[in-house]
Amino acid sequence: RKEVEQDPGPFNVPEGATVAFNCTYSNSASQSFFWYRQDCRKEPKLLMSVYSSGNEDGRFTAQLNRASQYISLLIRDSKLSDSATYLCVVNILTGGGNKLTFGTGTQLKVEL
């Protein structure tokens, strides 16, 4: 089983739609969680951190469910510019320091 699993998509949605991505992780010792955005052939960039209480940043809402070991990202009123790959990232504190494990990403295509 992969440490971090995501549906690869692609998710093709019309502009203005609400879209949700889920991600599951296998290591219960995981300590912090993130969503990164990656545009085609570009470097990943932090979209938002994910907190147990849930957090919102404009049209983006992230949720964490530790009991079920999954993380979600909700995008409301999607824009053409939201088209990208969204990477779920889990941080585990190990003896060698913190280790980030990346999911393979979910591709989103927002269309007119």
Partner 1 sequence: EAQVTQNPRYLITVTGKKLTVTCSQNMNHEYMSWYRQDPGLGLRQIYYSMNVEVTDKGDVPEGYKVSRKEKRNFPLILESPSPNQTSLYFCASSPRSRLAGYEQYFGPGTRLTVT
Q: Does 34 bind partner 1 (CB under 8 A)?
A: yes
Q: What are phi and psi of 23, to 5 degrees?
A: -150, 135
Q: Does 42 bind partner 1 (CB under 8 A)?
A: yes
Q: Which stretch binds partner 1 (CB under 8 A): 11-19, 52-60, 71-79, 94-102?
A: 94-102
Q: Does 66 bind partner 1 (CB under 8 A)?
A: no
The CA distances from residue 58 to 18, 24, 46, 73, in Å, are: 13, 24, 15, 12
Residue 64: how many other CB atoms lie within 10 Å: 20
Binding site for partner 1 (CB under 8 A): 8, 32, 34, 41-46, 49, 87, 91, 96-100, 102-105
